[in-house]
Structure 1
């Protein structure tokens, strides 16, 4: 399995990725861990370093799950996946999921720092269907529609028996 999962923040990418990686015993990469400077959310690392880390992860693992909202990185990795999974549950589901999100210690030093970013995150998530950047619905739709390989779009998280 080489699954590439993408969608808006709060769409369920991390939840599905963790389930699939555990079920299939494969490596898991949350793209947030290579995009941002460690301990400094919203401070991007140089793209050449991000791409080098992504390529290294793909080369080092025969089976993997990669997840994130970064359309440019999804496009870069799509050639190597066996399945492309687009999570598109809608704006309200994403906003609600973000409000329920547990503390993510790999992103934030404390729950308070994560909570302090929630309003900014929610505003960004709300604009998903109107923006046209690499992290937007328009970019994600183009990627999904253009992918010639195995692909599935989910409007709710798939059940995992």
Structure 2
């Protein structure tokens, strides 16, 4: 099951306490995956993780993907452009959703870990998982 933890289906951010509670509930399961950019949320559940996969694509590739998928949840042109600016600033901005914060989480993680820097690497990783499951 895929569940949106950091935001609701309509892309409105959840309050922090609710997001943390949902993430902790998912992380209490035997098998779980968290995907996203919320470093502050990862910090809340990383002690339950056995593996950390960092999908660290180039900002230009992320922005191109955002442009391709277009606006969502009734977003305005202004908020869409703000999202593109935010994606483009990944390596230069500060905060828990920045490259430097993600690098620190990755570097400090004691379990198995891997960086996937390209779409090709992501696809190869997913294909390998699929082969191991069959």
* TM-score (normalised: structure 2): 0.78
Root mean square deviation of aligned Cα: 2.1
1:79-106: CA deviation from partner (whole Å, max 9, x where unpaired): 11121011112111111111122675xx
Unaligned runs of 5+ in 1: 1-26
Q: What count of residue pairs does the alignment treat as equivalent? A: 122
Q: Distance in 2 between matches of 1:66 and 1:148?
A: 17
Could you say which residue in structure 1 is the equivalent of 2:6? 35
Q: Could you give the per-residue CA deviations for residues 7-61 of structure 1, whole angstroms, max 9, x where no partner exists?
A: xxxxxxxxxxxxxxxxxxxx444xxx222356352xx3332222111111222x2
Q: Is residue 2:108 matched to residue 1:137?
A: no
Q: Which residue of 2 aligns with 1:149?
A: 111
Say if 2:53 and 2:113, in contact at 8 Å, map to a contact too: yes
Please say if 1:158 is aligned against 2:123.
yes
Structure 2: state its 5+ residue gaps.
Answer: 128-134
Larger radius of gyration: 2
1:67 equivalent in structure 2: 35
The two structures have a TM-score, normalised by structure 1, of: 0.67
Asked which structure has the greater RCO (Cα within 8 Å, sep 6+), the reply is 1
The equivalences for 1:21-60 within 5 A come to: 27-29=1-3, 33-36=4-7, 39=10, 41=12, 44-59=13-28
2:6 touches 2:19 (CA, 8 Å); kept in 1? yes
1:88 pairs with one of 56, 75, 89 = 56
Query: More strand by proportion, 1 or 2?
Result: 1
